[in-house]
Amino acid sequence: MSAQPKPLPRESSAAIPGELAALLSAVLCFGLAHSAFFLLPKYLELELHADPSQIGAYFSATWFTTVALVPVVGVWVDRHGRLPLAFVGAVALAATCAGFLAVDRLGGLLLALRIAHGAAFTAFFVATSTLAADLAPPERLGQVLGYYGSGFVLSNSIAPALAEWTAARFGWAWVFAAAGLLAALSLVLLAFAREARHEPRDGRSVPGIRAALARPGFWRVLAVAALAGVTFAAMFTFNQPFALSLGISRVSDFLVAYSVAAVIMRGPFGALADRAGRMRVTRVSLAVYAAAALAMTRLDSLGLVPTGALFGVAHGLFYPVMSAAAIEGAPADVRGKLTAFFNGAFNAGFSLGSFGLGYAAESFGFPPVFGLACVCSLAALGLLPRRAPEEEPA
C-alpha cells in the first residue's frame, strides 16, 4: 500500500505561504499577456473598422467560452489537480497570441482566436485561483485571494498602457508578439509552483457538480455574480468606444486608474472583509459599482481617471470578497467546482452584457448602457444573501 502524500509545509498563519511566490509570478505574467487584449475594442474599431455591435460580439466570445467550460473545468481540477490545467491554459494563451499575428479582418479566424482565448483563461484562472485558496491559511483566505487577484488587476493597468504605446509606435503585431512571450514565461514559472494532492474525504469519491451547487445560499451568490458581471461588461467593454466618440484618444487612462484603485483595495485593504464580514463589504462594493456606472454617463465632464478609479474601488472589493464567500468552509475536493461556477456566473453576466449591450449602444447610444449597468448593480444588492454560504451538507 503506497504512503499517503504529505501536504505542502505551511508557514505560520501570520505570513503568506512562501510557495505562493512562483504561482503569483506566473499569474502576473499570464495576466499581462491576457490583459493586453483589454485594448481589443480600440483595435477592433480603429484597425478592423468594427461597429459597437461587432465589438460586443467579438469581445464577448471569450467570455461565452468561459461559461460553457465551467462544468468541465471545475470537475477536472478537483479530480486531477490544479497545476496540469494551469499549464494547458498558459500554452493555449501563447498559441492564441501567435494566432493574432495573422488577423487582418473580421471573420472566422478572429472568432476562433477569441474562443481559444476564453478556453485558455478559464483553464488557467480556475486552476491557479483554486491552488491559491488551497495554500491560504483559512483565517486569511480573503486576503490571499486579494493578493492573487492583484496580479491580474495590476496587469490590467500595465498591459493596456504598454500595448497602446507599443501599437502607436510599432504596430499591433508587436503587441501580440510580446503578449505571446509573456504567456510562455508564465508557463516556465509554473514549473516552480507546487501543489498537495488532496485525497477524497473518508475514502469517498470526489463530490460532483450537484453536491457543489447544493451549498445553502450558493445560487444567490451566483445570481449576484452574474449581475455584477453585466455592470463589469458595460464599464470594461464600452468605455473605450464611448471615450473615442467623445474625442478622447488615450483610452488606457481608464484601465490604469481602475487597476491602481483595485490593487489598493486588494492590497492594503485586503484583510478588511476577513475582519468586517464578507457580505457587509460586498454591499458597499455593489453600491460603489452603481455609482461608477452612473459616473460613466457623465464621462464628458468627469473624464476617464475618476470614473476608472471609482470602478476599481468597486471591483477591487467585490471580486475577492465574493470569491472567498463562495468557497469558504468548502472541502478541497469541491473548491475547484465552486470557483469555476462563481467565475462562470460572473463571466455569464460579462459575456451576455458585452453582447447585448453592444446592440443597445448602437441603437440608443452609450449613456443608456451605463444606466442599465447601474440598475443591474442595484438588483445584485437586493439579491445579496445575509450571510455567506455554509459548508455543503454531508
- Within 10 A of 363 (CB to CB), how many other CB atoms are there? 10
The architecture that CATH gives domain 20-194+214-383 is: Up-down Bundle (1.20)
Residue 364's pLDDT band (cuts 50, 70, 90): confident
Contact 166/261 with Cβ under 8 angstroms?
no
- Within 10 A of 351 (CB to CB), how many other CB atoms are there? 26
Of 109, 35, 325, 341, the C-alpha closest to 211 is 341
Report the predicted TM-score, pTM, of the whole model to 2 decimal places: 0.65
Helix then strand then coil, in percent of the chain rounded to 5, is 80, 0, 20
pLDDT exceeds cutoff 50 at 1: no
Burial of 2 (0-12, 13-18, 19+ CB in 10 A): exposed
Every domain of the chain and the residues it spans:
20-194+214-383
Percent of the chain scored above 70 by pLDDT? 76
What nine digits make up the cell of 324?
A: 472567498
pLDDT by residue (tens digit) across 40-87?
888 888 888 888 888 888 888 887 887 788 777 767 776 777 778 888
pLDDT by residue (tens digit) across 228-260?
889 988 888 888 888 888 888 888 788 888 878
Of 284, 262, 294, the C-alpha closest to 373 is 294
Winning range, highest mean pLDDT, from 15-24, 141-150, 381-390: 381-390
